[in-house]
Amino acid sequence: MKGALLVGGTSSDAGKSLIVAGLCRELRRRGVRVAPFKAQNMSNNSVVTLDGGEIGRAQALQAYACGLAPSTRFNPVLLKPGSDRRSHVVVRGKPAGDVGARDYHTWRSHLAGLVAEELASLRAEFDVVVVEGAGSVAEINLRATDLANMGLARAANLPVLLVSDIDRGGSLAHLFGTTAVLDADDQRLIAGYVINKFRGDPTILAPGLDRLREMTGRDTLGVLPYSTDLWLDAEDSLGASVGRRVGPPDTAGTGLGASRLTVAAIRLPRVSNTTDVEALGCEPGVDVTWVDDPSAVRSADLAVIPGTRATVSDLAWLRARGLDDALKGRARDGQPVIGICGGFQMLARRIDDPVESGAGGVDGLGLLDLEIAFDQDKILRQVTGTASGTAVTGYEIHHGRVHSSREQPWLVDDTHGPEGAVRGVVRGTHWHGLLASDVFRRDLLRTVAAESGRHGFVVSSTTVVDEVRAAQVDLMADLVREHLDLTRIEELICGGIDPAPPVIGHHLD
Residue type, 313: S
Non-local CB neighbours of 481 within 8 Å, separated by 6+ positions: 26
**Cα(53)–Cα(72) distance, rounded to whole angstroms?**
6
| DSSP per-residue letters across 470-488 | HHHHHHHHHHHHHHB-HHH
Active-site choice (341, 398, 399, 483): 341
Determine contact, residues 421/332, Cβ cutoff 8 Å. no
H/E element, 324: helix 323-332
Report helix angle 323-332 to 311-320, nearest 10: 80
**Cα(444)–Cα(458) distance, rounded to whole angstroms?**
12
Dump strand ranges (E) for 92-241: 94-100, 128-132, 160-165, 190-198, 220-225
Q: How many helices (H) and strands (E) does the chain have?
A: 15, 27
Determine contact, residues 40/135, Cβ cutoff 8 Å. no
User: What's the order of all strands across the beta sheet hosting 3-9?
Assistant: 34-37, 128-132, 3-9, 160-165, 190-198, 220-225
494 is catalytic: no
| DSSP per-residue letters across 116-143 | HHHHHHHHHHSSEEEEE--S-TT-GGGG
Dump strand ranges (E) for 145-185: 160-165
DSSP state, 93? T
| DSSP per-residue letters across 430-470 | S-BSGGG-HHHHHHHHHHHHHHHT-TT----SS--HHHHHH
CA dist list (Å): 476 to 54, 273, 415: 25, 22, 37
24 is catalytic: no
Active-site choice (88, 174, 398, 432): 432
SS3 content of the chain, % helix, strand, coil (to 5): 35, 30, 35
Chain centroid, CA 268 distance in Å: 15
| Nearest-10 Cα torsion for 139, 141, 146, 148 | -10
Determine contact, residues 287/247, Cβ cutoff 8 Å. yes
CA dist list (Å): 177 to 11, 162, 190, 506: 12, 12, 12, 11
**Cα(309)–Cα(348) distance, rounded to whole angstroms?**
17
Active site residues: 341, 432
